Structure 1
Amino acid sequence: MTRLCSIPAQARRPLVRSSLKQMSRFSTSSRTCDYADTLQNLKIGAHTRVLFQGFTGKSIASTATANAKESLEWGTKIVGGVKPGFDTSHLGLPVFPSVRAARMRAQPDATAIYVPGNQTAKAIEEAIEEEIPLVVAVAEHVPIHDMLRIHSMLKSQSKTRLVGANCPGIISPIGRCRIGFQPLPCFAAGNIGIVAKSGTLSYETVASTSRAGLGQSLCVGMGGDPLAGTNFVDALNIFEQDPDTEGIILVGETGGTAEMDAAEWIKDYHKRTSNPKPIMALVGGVYTPPGRIMGHAGAWTAPGEPNAKAKYEALERAGAVMVDHPEKFGELMKTLLTTRGRLQGTTSTNGFNQRRGLHTMRRVTPGRKGACQPQQTRSIYVKPFQALDMLREKSIPVNETAHSDVFLSLTIDRTALSPCILASTSTGFEPEQTGRFPFAYEGTDFSKDHSLVEAIASHLQLPAAAYDNLARLLQGLWQIFREKEAYILEVRANVTNKFEVRDARFGFDDAAFRSAGRQQEVQQLRNLAEEVVEEVEAEKDGIVYIKLEGAGSIGTLVNGAGLAMNTVDALTIHGGRCANFLDTGGKATTETVKASFRLITSDPRVKAIFVNIFGGLTRCDMIAEGIIQAFRETKMSVPVVVRLRGTNEALGQHLIASSKLPLEVYDGFEAAAHRVIELAGDRKHYY
């Protein structure tokens, strides 16, 4: 593989929004380095020397050991690992006592961080200090404020590039270099560049391009973290310059503005390029409910951000070819490449062949209940009166009878990778009435930095007499934001006299408690008795379950947040009505499937269940055995359609088809979707 040693300045065209300009204006420190200079570090290949942080031990480190074995056998050049205080060996490779020792003795080009979420920031910081060119952080549930601090560091340097956190990693099938936990059997060397927020949707996309004989050049897992170290525009810049990449696929989802930034980049790319590489895209979460966190930590829409439908439409207007399901990418991309004269031959399909649906109908055996270990976390919104009490503690005037003149939100800016203030005269934070003011995480003091206060006041058209009271309110919000690790603080305020707050809505990062043991007093404000019973029960079983409103008749069971969002979308587009969103997490074990079946069937609206599983690291035959066992041990009264794809998919489908249980199994989404919609009685089946 050709190594990209440098990217011309004109090729590095990340979208520069007014918010980024404002952040540089209001930052308390001058910026001498450009994080964009690290883009070239994404171009991994056979040359890349990979280090593992968290190489040995228990839990996630044991996963790293298995991952390292697979990657070594595949051809990845792993030069060793790090275990603090130990100078030994593992898997025939050196284990260094520190990242510094590893840098000096092994000279790694990249490091894969396999430590729990509460240790991830420290591990990233060590890598930044040693100027490791590429850092890939795979852990979920990294506290948001840990990442805000890390991004403050990243923006002050130009040596280290971050991918993640909460991502599957980055992989070069051409160079046989895997830094992450992607399922290798899905990949084939080829010419399609893929960048995705969702792990499971990216695997579906990869499998589709492999089945079409196209293969992949480079796949970047942007990840589902709210503050991703590498975004769509970063990857698009790499794909544009990469001679191995002939087609580009982008997989987005609800939350943030990265897809809108990508749409602007695509629009500009098409204007300045005579024969552009074809770009296809998908956006998950079009039909999921607003205001909810959809499995991924970053899958939520903040005030002023576009919803998934708006992102879909923006990408389509920019010239991306849109699909509603990732299995459609492969053949459509092949057509686009052929039409534009870019098809350079096809690759082995790695056994990913389309087959007709297999199905059988039999009787079911009731069984016993089970349980599994919690894995997912959720964010916490406190009651309005609790939020107002926090403001009173900061001596902020509160008057619940006052009228509202202005609306303020202290949240995170996912493009600027920093905190920001949204200031609006509109309760809905409509874009034309809302100002966005990012600022530095370190060193900001609203009581002293009146340039930022004045800019916000000017946008709101406040009189000069109100500046001090506005500064006092902003400083109080900023103190709560940092002290209690919030991710969104919204207030409605009256601008007269004391700048009184009428109402407040505060959201806090639960990962700070679940991963790091911080913010216990905030955690205790949560009242489980007032939450949806099924959703609380699901959390105990490590499942994200959201009951959808309306007359939904199809229960969904999916492994992966992005795939779960897309499943709801695609079934709705096909005419179905979904009763729930359900993400079992990365793995669909017997216990999670049993718990999921119980949750779904507790909803009397459900007339049929759609199990949509992509087997990545967990093979399809193992997943099939888990589904069969869970079905036998759970008293079922509704028909179940199973779509099973991925590693060992043929064997998994055969196991279910021959199980003599009332399970219908398919490999293609379209046929499975039509069948479950027919069984649910949502509309007539037209096959």
Structure 2
Amino acid sequence: MPGRIGIIAKSGTLSYETVASTTRAGLGQSLCIGVGGDIVPGTDLREALSVLENDEDTDAIALIGEIGGAGELDAAAWIKDYLARVESPKPIVGLIAGVHEARGRVMGHAGAFTAPGEPGAEAKIAALEDAGVTMVNHPAKFGDALKARLDGRSRSALGARHSTTSSDDFIFTHGQRRQLHTSTVGRPRIRYSRCQPSRLPGRQQQQRHIHLGEDKCMDILRATSRINCGSYSGHGDRRFLAIGIDRSTRSPCIVAAPSIEEGELARVAKRYSFDFQRGLDELAIERVAAHLQLSSKASAVESLRKVIKGLAALFYEREAFLVATHIVERLGEIKVVGAHFGFDDAAFRSGGRQGDLQDLRDTTAEDPSEMEAEKSGIVYIKLPGDGANIGTLVNGAGLAMNTVDALADAGGQAANFLDTGGKATSETVKKSFEVILRDPRVRVIFVNIFGGLTLGDMIARGIILAFQELSPAVPVVVRIRGTNEKEGQKLIAESGLPLYAFDDFEAAAAKAIELSRG
């Protein structure tokens, strides 16, 4: 709905929710900028903020971030400067998804993971709050929070229960005053086609990121470089050294820390970006050696240079996104005593490159349910905890992360992260049910679907079909909003099945938590 709110989002489904919330609040949208959740962004959050700062139609801004990279910290620095230099700044309300991420796992989006040395969701929330941003924990609250800021209410009154305006008050218009899309009269007809990821003959669809065990990583190092590597003898302080991607500078970087302790790593790690065409800056090695607290011996610096060049060559040649090691200094020489590599399998799926890496994947060490979901294009991750008893089924990575976070804020605990993808279908809903029900901890299934590319009535039919075929022994709470939401809710309500249907997220979450304790 044409209006006053500019939206910046790393998540598609969370932007859908925010559009709906600002529409229900009567505010509408001036411009929506989706920067996406890729590892290397095109437009970043700061650039999007600059656009909306200078946009005459925008009176306030909704900022949606998530785990991965440090773009939100860069945005917080920009906002702090903006609020200091502008006499009447535009109010900004924010949300960060992924507080309860599964560390070391990719949470749906290609870039939705926290790499070593990157800030987590809580650090991003703290930085934005310190910069003067009002934070909410669910996108349905954006409308009321932005309205309160625009009305000049006290910040303490924000974050309350979102508007319960009926879905009948939604106004959908295709022709926008900005003329960014071709205007038509009425609602356009849309043809939907089912897209299948490209597959090479004789192979299952692979997970987006490939992580190898330490032994295989060390074998790759021995085979592709002359780096001294072997098991840790217990002598010498272990340090962290990696080649990764600096998402803010959009370039490869050296990541170095004098400690390998997980709690310390994010605090003490430093990133040294370099131009991927010109290669490593010779002077950077000296700075890296100093930060790693290596001895001042020239041999140690030269040995470190050799290791870094070897890791960088592996990073390029094998199309990795992270080549991480633990190193020790012994007698002025650097030795690799631990390794963890991450590869993006897009090279294989799109062009058949790096096929041998697929063969190195140790499927025996992976959860069978997660692998089965993967074959259907579903990202399913079991979350730890004996009290994790709410099975979640969500479309879209950002919304799935936020669902886990919001349940935790309300006193519940999700048993899993499950992203059906932005275009959930009846088939993926059924498969998701099957996978979730294999977890004996699950005492209730919480379906949280927001229709954008997905139609609410189609999802409702998929839920009903799955329930009829699988006869789950646990209750199912369904929240459907967005495209064809009324039709979907009606189908659920008239199904005659023991399904609990809601349109309000907080009410649905409260019911799921109640049932999980029953």
1:406 aligns with 2:239: yes
- CA shift digits 1:575-599 (9 cap, x unpaired): 1111111000112211101101111
- Name the counterpart of 1:591: 427
Q: Secondary structure at the match of 2:329?
A: coil
Q: CA deviation at 1:535?
A: 0.5
The answer (yes or no) to whether the contact 1:481–1:487 under 8 Å persists in 2 is yes
Q: CA deviation at 1:676?
A: 0.9
Among 193, 212, 231, the alignment partner of 1:382 is 212
- Residues 349 and 655 from structure 1, CA distance in 2 versus in 1: closer, same or farther, beyond 3 angstroms? closer
- CA shift digits 1:293-351 (9 cap, x unpaired): 1011101101111111111111112111111110111122112112289xxxxxx9984
Among 646, 669, 678, the alignment partner of 2:482 is 646
- Name the counterpart of 1:478: 312
Counterpart-to-counterpart distance in 1, 2:427 and 2:499: 18
Among 208, 216, 219, the alignment partner of 2:29 is 216
Gaps of 5+ in 2: 155-164, 172-194, 198-204
- Name the counterpart of 1:458: 290
Counterpart-to-counterpart distance in 1, 2:475 and 2:292: 56
- Name the counterpart of 2:358: 523
Q: CA deviation at 1:265?
A: 1.1
Query: Could you tell me which amino acid in structure 2 is paired with residue 421 of structure 1?
Result: I
Matches within 5 A, 1:149-164: none
1:533 aligns with 2:368: yes
The answer (yes or no) to whether the contact 1:376–1:543 under 8 Å persists in 2 is no
- Name the counterpart of 2:161: none
Counterpart-to-counterpart distance in 2, 1:630 and 1:484: 41
Among 433, 445, 450, the alignment partner of 1:609 is 445
The answer (yes or no) to whether the contact 1:213–1:349 under 8 Å persists in 2 is no
- Name the counterpart of 2:107: 294
- Name the counterpart of 1:511: 346
- CA shift digits 1:359-409 (9 cap, x unpaired): xxxxxxxxxxxxx96778331111212111222220111131253443211
The answer (yes or no) to whether the contact 2:243–2:312 under 8 Å persists in 1 is yes
Q: CA deviation at 1:528?
A: 1.0
- Residues 562 and 218 from structure 1, CA distance in 2 versus in 1: closer, same or farther, beyond 3 angstroms? same
TM-score (norm 2): 0.87
Counterpart-to-counterpart distance in 2, 1:297 and 1:566: 17
Q: Secondary structure at the match of 1:499?
A: strand
Q: Percent identity?
A: 55
Query: Could you tell me which amino acid in structure 1 is paired with residue 306 of structure 2?
Result: R
Among 571, 582, 598, the alignment partner of 2:407 is 571
- Residues 204 and 376 from structure 1, CA distance in 2 versus in 1: closer, same or farther, beyond 3 angstroms? farther
The answer (yes or no) to whether the contact 1:373–1:540 under 8 Å persists in 2 is no
- Residues 221 and 352 from structure 1, CA distance in 2 versus in 1: closer, same or farther, beyond 3 angstroms? farther
- CA shift digits 1:464-509 (9 cap, x unpaired): 3322211110111011101111111111212234311111111111
Aligned residues: 469
- Residues 376 and 352 from structure 1, CA distance in 2 versus in 1: closer, same or farther, beyond 3 angstroms? farther
- CA shift digits 1:543-583 (9 cap, x unpaired): 00001110211100000010000000111110111111100
- Residues 545 and 405 from structure 1, CA distance in 2 versus in 1: closer, same or farther, beyond 3 angstroms? closer
Counterpart-to-counterpart distance in 2, 1:288 and 1:498: 37
Among 253, 273, 278, the alignment partner of 1:438 is 273
The answer (yes or no) to whether the contact 2:117–2:267 under 8 Å persists in 1 is no
Which runs of at least 4 in structure 1 moved beyond 6 Å after TM superposition? 372-376
Counterpart-to-counterpart distance in 2, 1:212 and 1:646: 15
Counterpart-to-counterpart distance in 1, 2:242 and 2:166: 49
The answer (yes or no) to whether the contact 1:377–1:511 under 8 Å persists in 2 is no
Counterpart-to-counterpart distance in 1, 2:216 and 2:83: 50
- CA shift digits 1:57-104 (9 cap, x unpaired): xxxxxxxxxxxxxxxxxxxxxxxxxxxxxxxxxxxxxxxxxxxxxxxx
- Name the counterpart of 1:336: 149
The answer (yes or no) to whether the contact 1:210–1:349 under 8 Å persists in 2 is no
1:502 aligns with 2:315: no
1:467 aligns with 2:298: no
- Name the counterpart of 2:201: none
- Name the counterpart of 1:317: 130
Gaps of 5+ in 1: 1-187, 342-347, 355-371, 683-687
Q: CA deviation at 1:289?
A: 2.0
Q: Secondary structure at the match of 1:421?
A: strand
- Name the counterpart of 1:176: none
The answer (yes or no) to whether the contact 1:190–1:214 under 8 Å persists in 2 is yes
- Residues 453 and 420 from structure 1, CA distance in 2 versus in 1: closer, same or farther, beyond 3 angstroms? same
Query: Could you tell me which amino acid in structure 1 is paired with residue 39 of structure 2?
Result: P
Q: Secondary structure at the match of 1:397?
A: coil
- Residues 204 and 659 from structure 1, CA distance in 2 versus in 1: closer, same or farther, beyond 3 angstroms? same
1:658 aligns with 2:460: no
Q: Secondary structure at the match of 2:101?
A: coil
Query: Could you tell me which amino acid in structure 1 is paired with residue 16 of structure 2?
Result: Y
- CA shift digits 1:179-208 (9 cap, x unpaired): xxxxxxxxx111101000110000000111
Among 246, 250, 268, the alignment partner of 1:417 is 250
- CA shift digits 1:589-638 (9 cap, x unpaired): 11101101111111111111100000112221222222222222222111
- Name the counterpart of 1:492: 326
The answer (yes or no) to whether the contact 1:207–1:352 under 8 Å persists in 2 is no
- Residues 626 and 431 from structure 1, CA distance in 2 versus in 1: closer, same or farther, beyond 3 angstroms? closer
Counterpart-to-counterpart distance in 2, 1:605 and 1:405: 38
Counterpart-to-counterpart distance in 2, 1:249 and 1:309: 18
Q: Secondary structure at the match of 2:80?
A: helix
- Root-mean-square deviation (Å): 2.1
Counterpart-to-counterpart distance in 2, 1:459 and 1:289: 29
Q: CA deviation at 1:353?
A: 5.5
The answer (yes or no) to whether the contact 1:376–1:542 under 8 Å persists in 2 is no
- Name the counterpart of 1:396: 227
Query: Could you tell me which amino acid in structure 2 is paired with residue 236 of structure 1?
Result: L
Counterpart-to-counterpart distance in 2, 1:623 and 1:242: 37
- Name the counterpart of 2:160: none
The answer (yes or no) to whether the contact 2:426–2:458 under 8 Å persists in 1 is no
- Name the counterpart of 1:53: none
Counterpart-to-counterpart distance in 2, 1:600 and 1:482: 38
- CA shift digits 1:115-158 (9 cap, x unpaired): xxxxxxxxxxxxxxxxxxxxxxxxxxxxxxxxxxxxxxxxxxxx
- Name the counterpart of 2:48: 235
The answer (yes or no) to whether the contact 2:23–2:170 under 8 Å persists in 1 is no
Counterpart-to-counterpart distance in 2, 1:288 and 1:339: 34
The answer (yes or no) to whether the contact 2:429–2:459 under 8 Å persists in 1 is no
The answer (yes or no) to whether the contact 1:212–1:349 under 8 Å persists in 2 is no
- Residues 205 and 432 from structure 1, CA distance in 2 versus in 1: closer, same or farther, beyond 3 angstroms? closer
Counterpart-to-counterpart distance in 2, 1:571 and 1:195: 24
- CA shift digits 1:392-443 (9 cap, x unpaired): 2201111312534432111000001000001221114635533210001113
- Residues 549 and 425 from structure 1, CA distance in 2 versus in 1: closer, same or farther, beyond 3 angstroms? same
Counterpart-to-counterpart distance in 2, 1:545 and 1:514: 20
Query: Could you tell me which amino acid in structure 1 is paired with residue 227 of structure 2?
Result: I
Among 69, 83, 87, the alignment partner of 1:274 is 87
Q: CA deviation at 1:461?
A: 4.2
- Name the counterpart of 1:552: 388
- Residues 272 and 349 from structure 1, CA distance in 2 versus in 1: closer, same or farther, beyond 3 angstroms? farther
Q: CA deviation at 1:653?
A: 0.7
